[in-house]
Amino acid sequence: MATSGAPFLASPRRWSRRWVLWGLLVALLLGILSTLVWLAGRYEAGLVQSLLEEDATQMATDIRTGLTRNVQSLQALQAGSPSPEGWRFPAAELLRENREIARVEWRDAALAIVSLAETPYRSSVFERLGRDSAQTDISFACATARRFSGPAYSISYFLPQSDGLGLEVMDMCLPVQVGGRLAGYLVATYSLPDVLSEMVGKQLAGGRGLALTEADGTRLAMFGNPARGSRTYIAQQLLDLPGNTMVLRLESRLGTPALFPNLLTALVTAMTVALAAVLALLGRDMRRRLKVEHDLADALAFRKAMEDSLVTGMRARDLQGRVTYVNPAFCQMVGLDASELLKPAALPPYWPPEQATEYQQRQSRRLEIGANLPREGFESVFMRRDGSRFPVLIIEAPLINAVGKQTGWMSAILDVSEQRRIEELSRASQDRLQATARLATVGEMASLLSHELNQPLAAISSYATGSLNLLQSADAIAQPPGHSADLQLAMRRIAEQAERAGKVIKSVHDFVRRRDQVREPIAPRALLDAVMPLVSLQARKLAVRVQMEIDDNCEPVLCDRTMVEQVLLNLARNGMQAMQLMDKARRGEKLLVLRVRPAASNAVSRWVEFAVIDHGDGIPEEVARQLFTPFFTTKAEGMGLGLSLCRTVIEQHGGFLGFEAVQPHGTIFTFTLPVSVRSTDQPPAAQEI
């Protein structure tokens, strides 16, 4: 047990080390996957941000280019020294072509309006507040333009509109010089929302939010829908104009890149997940394998513990009869080590040399039988190391492997030497008990002889006395004609009773010697007729009437005639004696009934019931409890063996003897005897003697 369990003492440590290694492997795999996904996400985010920065730069360049182109278009309006009316027509064309310009003014050197044109796409932007509200901003812008000798822009300002909305605008002032002398100014009012919508490429702004803000982040104008969410991509580009500086803000509406931004990342991630699944399956398989190995080791250790604790010897042999396995109990039984028993040898060392040839022949026969070995086992004799022999019981069965093929035989061997010793002791004790029982039976039979021979001897005495009286009377007087016949009948009765006494002695002698009693089929009427002379003689002495009721449908019974007649005679005599203590008023009721009829039977056996019925005072309860007890009697001269022997005789015949009370007075004793053969049916008859 200790040897098989030792390799598993350190299994918890090995198990913990395996878990640590598996944990490190899983952590490394998750770290690689997470790092890969994070780096791919950062790379894609950098690409999106770079693209957004490039687009913002391109948009800012487009706005500057558009503003410069507009400056050139405004300068073209002053070519050829146009009149105010002639100037208004090309200015209107300019406004139709450039929707971002809401108003164009021609002002003189004192900033007074000479001529103006407004965009046809909306109502006048100064409709509610008037133009004078922005005069200060125009003055600053024109002063800056005069200083730069080029276009200058004012800061943006908000103009409420008649539709309830507002518009963020800025003014651009362009000095007009004629012959190197300042001749006036061209003032263009830009709508900042239209600047974003008209001057930025639609392919750049598509799907994004574009806005012009101040340096502090105040939103001035917006084009498109701003991106929602806390992690949006934003690119800002400084729009530095002469006299005014704004920030162009581009917001990505695409949000952060997807978890798997490209096919390569998705493929690597899928392979990593597949690898993780394979590792999980391998880990699961390893756990199952370890569990199975642990269970197998436990099962082997448990089986070895059972084998070591068995008191029955176990032996396995291959198909050639060589011993391949023995358990410790078998080694202890024969006093040899397992190595000695498993060593190849011509003959097993536990076979007695004088019986080796017989054992070889028996083994050859068993090997020829194959799998059809008897399961009840067989007895043999083995030899210990010291040469002593001992009996064994061997039970063999085919040894079947996992694929259902026989590979040898498995034997269970029991040392039955102690059992044989106990059997010998039991047999000796049984013989002594039987001898003691026979001695007790001798005493019992002696009492039986003295009890049973009283009746025929008394009858012989009566008949002999009667015969003497007849002979004396014949000498005294002349002998009547009938005296000779009576004398002959009396002498026959004496001979019959003497013969009966001999039969009783012979039956008792056979019983003592345990010989089989002679049983023969007897008609129930014949049994009653045989005892009627003695019953009648006793009945005349006791003034009792005897009545027989015999059902002639009763079949012959199989019995020992002499013993059953004694039972009938004893029961009849007891019944007549029980009626002697009756009241004088009931003396006329002294009637003894002998009844025979079929008893309850079944398909296996049939019975005949005999009954002896008296009309006495019955049996008291305290007497009834021990009525069949040997040597118990209520008679002064009785021996107490009559009813006990009657029950013994009936039970030897397989029947039953019992009694019960008869209402209003009396007792009925009944016993049953087995039927021998079926007889012809006869009508029932009743006879009274």
- The string of pLDDT tens digits covering residues 573-591 is 888 888 887 766 666 678 8
- Alpha helices, H only, 98-175: 135-148
Task: Note if the pTM is more than 0.75.
Answer: no
Q: Give the three-class secondary structure for 610.
A: strand
Could you give phi then psi for residue 457, rounded to 5 degrees? -65, -40
Tell me the pairing of strands 406-415 and 389-400.
antiparallel
| Cβ atoms of 112 and 123 closer than 8 Å | no
Which residue is it, tokens 């007074």?
112
Confidence (pLDDT) at 436: 65
| Whole-number Å distance between alpha carbons of 321 and 561 | 64
Query: Which tokens sit at 574?
Result: 């007891």
Token digits for 624?
Answer: 């009834």
Mark residue 184 as left, alpha or beta (left: phi above 0; alpha: psi -120 to 50; beta: remaining): left
Sheet holding 219-223, edge to edge: 219-223, 208-213, 244-252, 234-241
Distance CA 409, CA 317 (A): 5
CATH number given to 518-688? 3.30.565.10
Domain boundaries along the sequence of the chain: 1-309, 312-415, 427-516, 518-688
Largest CA distance in the chain: 222
Please tell me the predicted confidence (pLDDT) of residue 1.
Answer: 39
**511 HSE (CA, 13 A, CB side):** 22
DSSP-assigned beta bridge partners for residue 234: 251
Give dist(CA 634, CA 377) in Å, integer.
Answer: 59
Following CA atoms 19, 21, 23, 25 in sequence, which dihedral angle do they give, to the nearest 10 degrees? -150
3-state helix, strand, coil in the chain (%, to 5): 50, 20, 30
Among 178, 190, 27, 26, residue whose Cα is nearest residue 102: 190
Q: Between the CA atoms of 674, 678, 680 and 684, what dihedral angle is there, to the nearest 10 degrees? A: 20
Packing angle of the helix pair 561-578, 642-652 (nearest 10 deg) = 140
What is the structure's pLDDT at 505? 66
Per-residue model confidence (pLDDT) at position 72? 92
Assign domain 312-415 to a CATH class: alpha beta
Rounded Cα–Cα distance for residues 569 and 564 (Å):
9
Q: Which residues in the chain come in under a pLDDT of 70?
A: 1-15, 201-207, 226-231, 253-265, 367-376, 431, 434-455, 457-458, 461, 468, 471-485, 487-488, 499, 502-517, 583-588, 603, 631-632, 636-641, 677-689
First and final C-alpha spacing in the chain: 91
* pLDDT, position 684: 39
Contact assessment for residue 325 and residue 357, using Cβ atoms and an 8 Å cutoff: no
pLDDT of residue 612: 93
Listed in sequence order, the residues at least 6 apart from 330 whose beta carbon sits closer than 8 Å to its beta carbon are 313, 314, 315, 341, 413
